């Protein structure tokens, strides 16, 4: 059984990854992304999908043309865990690469 992040760990995570916000009950984190077009948005989703499958930890997400909304949570723990932190860090790492290119 994976343990929830402590309040201190969650605060540290949100400071580290300022694009992500928690819901009111702090059981999930959410971020919105906007890309140049659908090709770039779905390419991003594909990279996240491959990582998610590797981690066996999957996002809840939606896409409309160049926009992608992602929510992360760990159902098994009914809250946020190190898996969400790891996947959020990966997501931010590939969006930074894309933005810097």
Binding residues for a copy of itself (CB under 8 A): 38-39, 42, 45-46, 49, 52-53, 58, 60-65
Nearer to a copy of itself, 2 or 12 (CB): 2
Nearer to a copy of itself, 40 or 92 (CB): 40
Nearer to a copy of itself, 9 or 30 (CB): 30
Inter-residue contact 98 to 91 (CB < 8 Å): no
Cβ 59 to a copy of itself shortest distance, Å: 8
Q: How far apart are CA 3 and CA 57, in angstroms?
A: 15
Buried b (16+ CB within 10 A) or exposed e, 46-56: ebbeebbeeee
Nearer to a copy of itself, 12 or 55 (CB): 55
- What residues contact 35, with CB distance under 8 A and at least 6 apart? 41, 44, 66, 67, 68, 98
State the DSSP code for 6. Answer: P
Cβ 51 to a copy of itself shortest distance, Å: 12
Cβ 64 to a copy of itself shortest distance, Å: 5
């Amino acid at each position: 059984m994976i343990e929830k992040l402590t309040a201190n760990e969650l605060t540290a995570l949100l400071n580290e990854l300022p694009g992500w916000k928690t819901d009111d009950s702090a059981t999930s984190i959410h971020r919105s992304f906007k890309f140049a077009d659908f090709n770039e948005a779905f390419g991003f989703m594909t990279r996240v999908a491959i990582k998610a499958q590797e981690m066996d930890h999957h996002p809840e997400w939606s896409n409309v043309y160049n926009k992608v909304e992602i929510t992360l949570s760990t159902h098994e723990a009914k809250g946020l865990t190190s898996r969400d932190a790891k996947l959020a860090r990966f997501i931010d790492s590939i969006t930074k690469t894309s933005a810097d290119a």
